[in-house]
Structures are given as C-alpha cells and as structure tokens.
Amino acid sequence: MYAADGRRRRQQLQDCRWRKSAGIGVECVAIVAALLFASGGAVSAERFPVKPVRIVVPFPAGGSTDVIARQLAQQLTESWGQPVIIDNRGGAGGVLGCDMVAHAAPDGYATVMGSVSTHAIIPHINRKMPYDPVSDFSAITEVARFPSMLVANPALPVRNVKELIALAKARPGELTFASNGTGTNSHLAGEMLQASAGIKLLHVPYKGAAPAISDVVAGHVAMLFTGVANGITQVRSGRLRPIAIAALERSPSLPDVPTLEESGVRGVDVTIWLGLWGPAGMPAELVNRLQTDVAGALKTPRMRELFAKQDAQAVGSTPAQFAARVREELARWGKVVRAANIQE
C-alpha cells in the first residue's frame, strides 16, 4: 500500500487534527508546514505523478460509478504515463472506501470516486460516521450527473403521475415502492414524492438496485425510483413503464417522458452525481492539476461516448464549484432525511 514515510506522515497528520481540535493550533500549523516541506516532490503538482495513482471506488465492481472510474483511469493512464489503479472497497454504503482515502497521505496518489450518497445523504443517517464529508476531504471535481426516473410494473393501472397519485389516494398505504436500501437516494425519492403529492406509499428496501428492479419487473413491488441507465433496458423491452423523470430536465434517452416537475409534483430532483475527492490538506496546486487533467479526460471522444451510453452528463467543475455543490447538497438532503425521520 503506502511506503513507510507515507504512513508516518499520515499518522502525524491525524495527530495534528487531534491537536487542532484540542486547541493546540500553533503546533498543528508547524507540523503541517514541516510535513509538506519534507514531502517535497510527493506533493509537487509539476512532477505529479511519478508513481502509480489509485482511485478508490467505494462500491462493488460493475456499477455506474465503477464503470466511469475505470474509463477515466484508462484515459489518465495514457495521459500521465503512470498506471491509474481502480481499488474497489465496498461496504457500509460507500463509507469504508471514503474513510480510507480521508486518512490517506494528501499527496494525490489516493483519491476516491464518491457520490451524492457518500457525501450528502449517509452523513445525515449514520450516527457513527468516521469522516466529515467536507472538512476531511479536498474536493477536486464533480465528474458526472445521472438523471433518475420513476418506473412501475406495467400491470399497475397508471400511465402518468396524475393517475398514480389518484390511485395512491384511493388506496392509501397499499401501493409499494422499492429502493436500493434504507437511506439511499432511491428511498428518499419515494419519501419526497409522498410529501410533495400528499400520498402514502409502502417502502420495500432491497440491498442494491439489481434486486429492487428485478422484483418490480416480476410484479412483487409496484414501482421504484432508479437511474435511467439502470432501467432503460427494461423500459425499452416493455417490462417497466416509465412514469416520470426525477430530474430538472427530461432524459435524452426518454425524451417523451415528462419530469415530475412538469407533471405537477414539485421539488423531487433526484439527480445522482459522482465526484472525485482527495484527503484534506492537499496543496491547492496539486488539486488544480488533478482537476484540470480529469476535466480534460472527460472531454475525450472515448469518455463522451461512455457518458452517452450511461445517459450521463460529464461535468468537470472547478474545486471551488464542486465544494460549493457538496455543501448545498449536504444541506438539501439533510432536510429530506429529517422530514422523513430516517435513522440508522
């Protein structure tokens, strides 16, 4: 994993954070300054990278986050002339992988491809969060945005949002909606729909998108919110019926499907976003170098083709823009979690 000097610097930085929280500010500043000076080329944006770089994906292999991270890694490998390695560290809804990077050396050689879940939703639900989604990371860039959609089993006698709301009001608490798990964005989307439309649904949590989609297709559950890319195959085959897009704009893949906003349901924007973070304490020059290179990679024909297949929008925002978005999303989802009274 890391060299001995990297582990030593990481431990010293952790000690520094403890001293800072205890009020020993001057010593902390001195330690950080000494570490950054001693690490020399390890944090030099001009020389970076001089060894393999690791992108931690805090989810299992095969999902949208993993697919995009691997393509980005391939593009950066070609640009940098150094291997960019994908390290899948799933567990605790993405918390384990993010925590690993939060406590890594701030030299740019360990970053994490996190998401709205790991940095804006779970921090409000997990009472034992090992990291702060803002202060323990260096925001590098937002990488991608994915629209979500509300889909239903074709046997459900509704074809649009108006009919769904009417049926739910006629059968309060009877219509079921699946989710990727309690506290996930797909769960919170259902809670937002209920609050905005004034209806009552029954939540059925699953362990991931695949089993949730499968049970809606099979008719065991009536509906669910999912990413357009996750459910587009079933929609095109007729095994799922699209009811509405849960984003501010229509999906290019389903241009005839209206948004919830257009259908009269306000405030249900469940856009899924991914971003790249490094540990807190990374030099600004290094953060800017990484942002520039990643944003450049997102504009290549290979990445544009991938994003089109995933029904995703490439972003490549500046570190300041990304940090601001994380704070805004953290506040927004906090309100949703508290309103729905969701606890771990």
Task: Report how far residue 194's alpha carbon sits from residue 96's, in angstroms, rounded to the nearest whole number.
Answer: 31
Task: Report how far residue 78's alpha carbon sits from residue 14's, in angstroms, rounded to the nearest whole number.
Answer: 34
Q: What's residue 258's pLDDT? A: 96
Q: What's residue 93's pLDDT? A: 81
Q: Which residue has the higher pLDDT, 259 or 46?
A: 259
Classify 205 as helix, strand or coil: strand
Average pLDDT, the chain: 87
**Which residues, including other chains, have CB under 8 Å from residue 342's CB and lie 6 or more apart?**
125, 182, 183, 187, 188, 191
Q: 272-279 and 176-179: which strand pairing? A: unpaired
- Half-sphere exposure in the Cβ direction for 279 (13 Å, CA): 22
Q: What's residue 323's pLDDT? A: 98
pLDDT band at residue 311 using 50, 70 and 90 as cut-offs: confident
pLDDT band at residue 297 using 50, 70 and 90 as cut-offs: very high
pLDDT band at residue 43 using 50, 70 and 90 as cut-offs: low
Q: What's residue 33's pLDDT? A: 41
Q: What's residue 2's pLDDT? A: 33
- In angstroms, the first-to-last Cα distance of the chain is 32
Q: Could you tell me the pTM of the whole model?
A: 0.80
pLDDT over 50 (residue 34): no
- Taking the CB of residue 134, how many other CB atoms lie within 10 A of it? 14
* DSSP 8-state symbol, 254: B
Kindly report, residue by residue over 282-296, the tens digit of the pLDDT: 999 999 999 999 999
Q: What is the pLDDT averaged over residues 27-31? A: 44
Kindly report, residue by residue over 146-182, the tens digit of the pLDDT: 899 999 999 999 999 999 999 999 999 999 999 988 8
Q: What is the CATH code of the structural domain delimited by 148-245?
A: 3.40.190.10
Kindly report, residue by residue over 232-244, the tens digit of the pLDDT: 999 999 999 999 9
Out of 5-9, 90-94, 175-179, 308-312, give the one with best mean pLDDT: 175-179
**Which residues, including other chains, have CB under 8 Å from residue 289's CB and lie 6 or more apart?**
45, 48, 108
- Taking the CB of residue 163, how many other CB atoms lie within 10 A of it? 13
- Lowest mean per-residue pLDDT among 20-29, 83-92, 96-105, 311-320: 20-29
Q: What's residue 184's pLDDT? A: 85
Find where tokens 């001995």 sit: 4
Q: Would the CATH topology of 44-146+273-340 be identical to that of 148-245?
A: yes
- Taking the CB of residue 102, how many other CB atoms lie within 10 A of it? 22
pLDDT over 50 (residue 214): yes
- Half-sphere exposure in the Cβ direction for 336 (13 Å, CA): 28
Q: What's residue 92's pLDDT? A: 82
pLDDT over 90 (residue 207): no
Q: What's residue 190's pLDDT? A: 95
Residue ranges of domains in the chain: 44-146+273-340, 148-245
CATH of 44-146+273-340, one of 3.40.50.300, 3.40.190.150, 3.20.170.30, 3.40.50.1820: 3.40.190.150
pLDDT over 60 (residue 248): yes
Q: What is the pLDDT averaged over residues 225-229? A: 90
